[in-house]
Chains A and B, each alone.
Chain A
């Protein structure tokens, strides 16, 4: 099992750092899955996470100048590692002016991702900063836990409002309540509601647009028969929503959510070279 990668381009490095920073805000520990073409940051829906799950997919070619990996076996050419994304984020934080960053899987005292940052210096030779990030190798028998989640059978799918606006609304609401209700309809309308003994606040968004989803069998999905005005709603933990919104450092190309009434809200954030899916279950 081997892995080594190198980034030389500063823009790519910054992009990768941003992705890692976002992940670090969403999960304390997560799984990094490496394949020949892609990297995935995965969080599966264990109770410890509060039921949230995350699937983030990147094409390695968009970020790395060199990328070589050898998985656990020829027919299972993948590596699954458990790590603390905050560590990776911290290692990359001081690499903003780096000449090159190399990442390598090593096993000295214990398996580590060794991040080597070559920094410019006043002298002839560069300054080298190395960070050894401890990781755990996830054995093959557990790989099934980390399969890509399926898009749920949603009631309503709607584009999100400007994330910056949504973030500031949710942040203010967070001070008043622990849970928030997201409701939306197929008419491009979304409401964010909180209700406590003292106060109830609702923010209305209009003209958001609903993404067209082609169903698998080619014909209109049952969701299209739905009354356009009828709202699908789910009450979710406001902190989880706030973390998702706060972690976004760049505006995504596309941002939408799928609501399964009273069950789960599925967020999809698409950037040019990275896609992030985040599932927040409804509260009982």
Chain B
């Protein structure tokens, strides 16, 4: 598959790589029929980044999948895992890149396990970077943004203006909202030495936000360092940033969406300690569990079916999550483990909470020059149905949620 980028958007693409670099040392490079997806998860599974460039973002976008071959050739599954350190040099000095580069093309060479980035620069200079990739199990987080009671939408410039007040060394910040007030403040752990730490707090009026909805007063604490990448990216796209969140412990999603791209950073938030279960780990939330590889002959992607509702107030004890779920796995999806966040019980009915992060395996695809034969079923990533609130366990087929 050859993907060619518009040079005028090279800045955006480069900033996307830099943003993802804040999350992890490696990322998932996932060419799809509709566009190119970049995904990354940090080592503690508390931050997930997803940036999707639709095919319209590119000057030329050609993606092909191959149908199931009859002969037993060695097949490489994509998406590919790339090391950030290999890719960053391609997009070093992003701000200058646009001036010097006339064309940037990206193509994969599955036979040689290469992804090639080629920059056609001024004066006839051609820089070619052949990056080896590894196969990886695709990672996808699902977060039902529309279920969040609190939604803020703010211009990227404003968000940058707020975060600039925090020192670059500030790890975590707390976002605190009520219907009349918004406050960002630096977070210091309970045992921090207050006589040494400087604390910063910014108070804003809801008027400053393009959209302001607060369904429940909440305070969510998340990692600012990981977010900074998205902030820089948002300034390049000039788009507004949406913040979807709930109460403490539930993840917070920062997302950008426009005609040609979509980005989401989902960060775990500190859980409320007064549930009684203190956590040793600084950031905890639902953890992503990697789903073991499915049978290779299976083409149809299956949504990870949630097991029976597991009531967990505080996921910080997630060290035992495997054990808890083993016994409740659905028989037909053997070997999968699904993570569920806390289950909230409402007055009216037992609402199974959304698994905040779910992983599922997509059919392998690989890309060839030439024949275009997309097998729609095989790449039905868009049809993954995700658990949403439901009365009963059986309602899996009907559940839809926003895809991240």
Contact of B125 with A by CB under 8 A: no
Return chain B residues, CB-CB under 8 Å to A91.
Answer: 198, 200
Cross-chain contact of A87 among B198, B202, B207 (Cβ < 8 A): B198
* CB <8 Å contact, B207 and A110: no
**How near does chain B come to A243, taking the closest CB pair, in angstroms?**
21
**How near does chain B come to A272, taking the closest CB pair, in angstroms?**
30
* CB <8 Å contact, A122 and B208: yes
Q: A90-B167, A136-B195 in contact; A130/B201 too (CB < 8 A)?
A: yes
B155: nearest chain-A partner, CB-CB: A122
CA distance A125 to B208 in the complex (A): 9
A131: nearest chain-B partner, CB-CB: B200
Contact of B295 with A by CB under 8 A: no
CA distance A134 to B200 in the complex (A): 11
Task: Give residues 189-207 of B contacting A (CB, 8 Å).
Answer: 194-207
Interface size range on B against A:
10 to 19
Task: Give residues 112-131 of A contacting B (CB, 8 Å).
Answer: 121-125, 127-131
Q: A122-B207, A124-B207 in contact; A129/B165 too (CB < 8 A)?
A: yes
Cross-chain contact of A127 among B195, B202, B206 (Cβ < 8 A): B202
Return chain A residues, CB-CB under 8 Å to B207.
Answer: 122-125
Q: A90-B167, A122-B207 in contact; A110/B195 too (CB < 8 A)?
A: yes
Contact of B70 with A by CB under 8 A: no
**How near does chain A come to B397, taking the closest CB pair, in angstroms?**
46
Return chain B residues, CB-CB under 8 Å to A110.
Answer: 194-195
Return chain B residues, CB-CB under 8 Å to A125.
Answer: 205, 207
* CB <8 Å contact, A132 and B199: yes
Q: A90-B167, A94-B165, A109-B194 in contact; A131/B205 too (CB < 8 A)?
A: no
Q: A94-B165, A134-B194 in contact; A121/B199 too (CB < 8 A)?
A: no
Cross-chain contact of B205 among A87, A109, A124 (Cβ < 8 A): A124
* CB <8 Å contact, A129 and B195: no
Cross-chain contact of A134 among B164, B196, B202, B208 (Cβ < 8 A): B196
Task: Give residues 36-62 of B contacting A (CB, 8 Å).
Answer: none
Contact of A133 with B by CB under 8 A: yes
Task: Give residues 55-113 of B contacting A (CB, 8 Å).
Answer: none
CA distance A134 to B197 in the complex (A): 7
Q: A110-B194, A122-B208 in contact; A129/B167 too (CB < 8 A)?
A: no
A126: nearest chain-B partner, CB-CB: B205
Task: Give residues 68-93 of A contacting B (CB, 8 Å).
Answer: 87, 90-91
Task: Give residues 99-152 of B contacting A (CB, 8 Å).
Answer: none
CA distance A134 to B186 in the complex (A): 14
**How near does chain B come to A30, taking the closest CB pair, in angstroms?**
16
A123: nearest chain-B partner, CB-CB: B207
**How near does chain B come to A136, taking the closest CB pair, in angstroms?**
7
**How near does chain B come to A146, taking the closest CB pair, in angstroms?**
20
Of the A-B pairs whose beta carbons lie under 8 Å apart in the complex, a sample of 15, sorted by A's number, is A91-B198, A94-B165, A121-B204, A122-B208, A123-B205, A124-B207, A127-B203, A129-B202, A130-B202, A131-B199, A132-B199, A132-B201, A133-B198, A134-B196, A136-B195
Q: A123-B206, A125-B207 are in contact. List 13 more A-B contacts (CB 8 A).
A: A87-B198, A109-B194, A110-B195, A121-B204, A121-B205, A129-B201, A131-B198, A131-B200, A132-B199, A132-B201, A133-B198, A134-B195, A134-B197
